[in-house]
Amino acid sequence: MTPLRPSGAGLGFRRELLPALKTHVPAAIDFFELAPENWIDMGGVYGRDLRAFTERYPFVCHGLSLSLGGPTPLDEMLLRKIRQFMDAHGIALYTEHLSYCSDDGHLYDLLPIPFTEEAVKYVAARIRRAQDILERRIAIENASYYTPSPVADMDESSFIRAVLDEADCDLHLDVNNVYVNSVNHRYDAVEFIRALPSERIVYLHMAGHYNEADDLIVDTHGADVIEPVWALLDATYRIHGVAPTLLERDFNIPPLAELVREVEQIARLQAAHAPHAKIAAAS
């Protein structure tokens, strides 16, 4: 299949939503995202359902378990399976977290990489290898984190820029993660966004979170997007232009009609900034 680039506003492709989506895909949804680990080798009814959608809509693969910053060898067998899956379904874009999630086994959480020059070299080499195997550029996602590393040569935005340059890869900008980290680590979210390179940003995420305390937010993807995060998305479009943007909802999933209202809000903000839109979909 010819790979399709995403554009506009998207929604996570979740099995809970399939009955409603098979009945009608709302016009606001331009593309879908899935975790390839959950769909590789999927047959039967779900496999047929996925094929019916990938033949009609662009999809993005958003990885969960590659562990780009992890100490164990890169899972090259998984990467080869992902490449075959993406080729079979015509999927152009693969993204992964700038974090690690495994050591001798999976840790079932996304843990922060120390912001050091050594880590930049290490992670970038693994990203370059992943790109070679996938035969595609990939985009790395800025991660939420709760405890700063005791060793650091640079701040978070400098670390992200250094990895992007060293690996020659793209950026998947999670706007909610920036907001979460800005509260938890007390920095200016807009200035953080401004420090990122426009030319690398190809994809964005929006999501909800949980307020544990006034100074502690937990990134859950289990609630509605709040107004300050919408405002940060608006600022992101103003600073960097419009890129394909996904509503991420992994828990407490409401009916499709409720999710679509937030997808429509993404689309409205994109339309408001359309004169300054990036041509990410055609890159």
CATH number, domain at 169? 3.20.20.150
| Mean per-residue pLDDT, 143-159 | 85
Annotate 226-252 with b (16+ C-beta within 10 A) or e (fewer).
eeebbebbeebbbebbbbbbbbbbeee
Sort 222 into a burial class: Cβ within 10 Å, 0-12 / 13-18 / 19+.
middle
Mean pLDDT over each residue of the chain, to the nearest integer? 89
| Structural domain containing residue 34 | 9-282
Place of tokens 């996904």: 246
Q: What percent of the chain has pLDDT over 90?
A: 72
- Classify residue 64: in a domain, yes or no: yes
Is pLDDT of 211 > 80? Answer: no
* Helix, strand or coil, per DSSP, at residue 166: helix
Distances (CA, A) of 221 to 9, 101, 253: 17, 18, 9
| pLDDT for the residue numbered 204 | 98
Q: Parallel, antiparallel, or unpaired: how do β-strands 245-248 and 201-207 relate?
A: parallel
> Distance of alpha carbon 11 from its chain centroid, rounded?
12
Nearest-angstrom CA–CA distance, 208 and 219: 7
- Classify residue 135: in a domain, yes or no: yes
- Classify residue 1: in a domain, yes or no: no
| pLDDT for the residue numbered 162 | 98
Nearest-angstrom CA–CA distance, 246 and 155: 27
- Classify residue 3: in a domain, yes or no: no
- Classify residue 181: in a domain, yes or no: yes
- Classify residue 222: in a domain, yes or no: yes
pTM of the predicted model as reported, rounded to 2 decimal places = 0.92
Q: What is the DSSP string of 96-155?
A: EESSEEESSSEEEEEEPPP-SHHHHHHHHHHHHHHHHHHTS-EEEEPPP-SS--S--SS-
Contact 19, 46 (CB under 8 A): no
Is pLDDT of 279 > 60? Answer: no
Nearest-angstrom CA–CA distance, 157 and 162: 9
Contact 79, 130 (CB under 8 A): yes
Contact 154, 115 (CB under 8 A): yes
| Number of domains, the chain | 1
> Confidence band (pLDDT; 50, 70, 90) for 265?
very high
Is pLDDT of 108 > 80? Answer: no
- Classify residue 220: in a domain, yes or no: yes
Distances (CA, A) of 63 to 80, 136, 230, 273, 278: 13, 14, 25, 29, 24
- Classify residue 104: in a domain, yes or no: yes
Considering only residues 33 and 99, tell me which one the structure prediction assigns the higher pLDDT: 33
Sort 118 into a burial class: Cβ within 10 Å, 0-12 / 13-18 / 19+.
exposed
> Confidence band (pLDDT; 50, 70, 90) for 218?
confident
Is pLDDT of 101 > 70? Answer: no
* Helix, strand or coil, per DSSP, at residue 59: strand
> Distance of alpha carbon 14 from its chain centroid, rounded?
15
